[in-house]
Structure 1
Amino acid sequence: MTESTTCVVCDRTAETRTCVSCQARLRGLLAQIPEQYVFLAMSRQREQRGGDGRSSTRLHAPLPGRLDTLNLVGPYARQSVTDAEDQIGEAPVLAVLETWCQVVTEERRLTPVRTHVSTLTNRLLTHLGWICDQVWVVDFELELRELMRAVKAITRTDPRRVPLPVPCPSCEMLTLVREDHSGWAAECVLCSSVKLDERDYQQLVREAYQAVSKPQEA
Structure 2
Amino acid sequence: MSSCVICRRAHRDRGDAHRTACDRCEHRIRGWLREIPRQLPLLRASLALDGGPAQGRPAGRAHSPLPVRGDVLDLLGPAAPGPVRDHRGDQSGTLPVLATVYAWAEQIAAARGRDLPPFRPRDDYTRYIAAHLNYACSQVWITDLHTELGEAVHAARAITRTEPRRRPKDAPCPGCQAFALVEEDWQPYIECGTCGLLLSHDEYVAHHRAVMPPLYRTALRLTLHQAAHNAPEDEPK
Of 169, 188, 192 in structure 1, the residue corresponding to residue 192 of structure 2 is: 188
The verdict on how the C-alpha distance between 1:49 and 1:164 changes in structure 2, with shifts beyond 3 A counting, is farther
Q: How does 1:88-103 map to 2 (within 5 A)?
A: 88-103=92-107
- Which aligned pairs between 1:119-158 and structure 2 lie closer than 5 A? 119-158=124-163
Partner in structure 2 of residue 112 of structure 1: 117
TM-score (norm 1): 0.83
Query: Normalising by structure 2, what TM-score?
Result: 0.77
Aligned to 1:60: 63
User: Who is 2:183 aligned against?
Assistant: 178
Q: Contact 2:105/2:116 (CA < 8 Å) preserved in 1?
A: no
Q: Which residue of 2 aligns with 1:69?
A: 72
Q: Greater CA deviation, 158-167 or 124-133?
A: 158-167
* SS of 2:183 mapped into structure 1: strand
Corresponding position of 1:37: 40
Q: Which amino acid aligns with 2:49?
A: R
1:17 aligns with 2:16: no
TM-superposed CA distance for 1:75, in Å, is: 3.0
Question: Contact between 1:9 and 1:18, CA under 8 Å: does it hold in 2?
Answer: yes
How much does 1:207 deviate?
A: 0.9
Q: In structure 2, what is the Cα distance between the partners aligned to 1:168 and 1:27?
A: 22
1:43-54 pair list within 5 angstroms? 43-47=46-50, 48=52, 51=55
2:106–2:116 contact (8 Å) kept in structure 1:
no
Q: Mark the runs of 5 or more structure 1 residues left unpaired by the alignment.
A: none
Q: Which residue of 2 aligns with 1:162?
A: 167
Given that 1:44 and 1:66 are in contact with CA atoms closer than 8 Å, whether structure 2 keeps it comes out as yes
The two structures, once aligned, show a CA RMSD in angstroms of: 2.8
Cα displacement string for residues 85-129 of structure 1 (whole angstroms, at most 9, x for unaligned residues):
974431111111111111222233144232534311111111111
Q: Deviations over 1:105-158 (max 9, x none)?
A: 223314423253431111111111111111211111111111112111111111
CA shift, 1:78, in A, is: 4.5
Give structure 2 stretches of 5+ with no counterpart.
14-18, 222-237
Aligned residues: percent identity? Answer: 35
Q: Is the 8 A contact 2:31 2:186 kept in 1?
A: yes
Whether the 8 Å contact between 1:28 and 1:183 is mirrored in structure 2 is: yes
1:62 is displaced (CA, Å) by 1.1
Q: Is residue 72–residue 93 contact of structure 1 (8 Å, CA) maintained in 2?
A: yes
**How far apart, CA to CA, are the structure 2 residues paired with 1:206 and 1:67?**
50
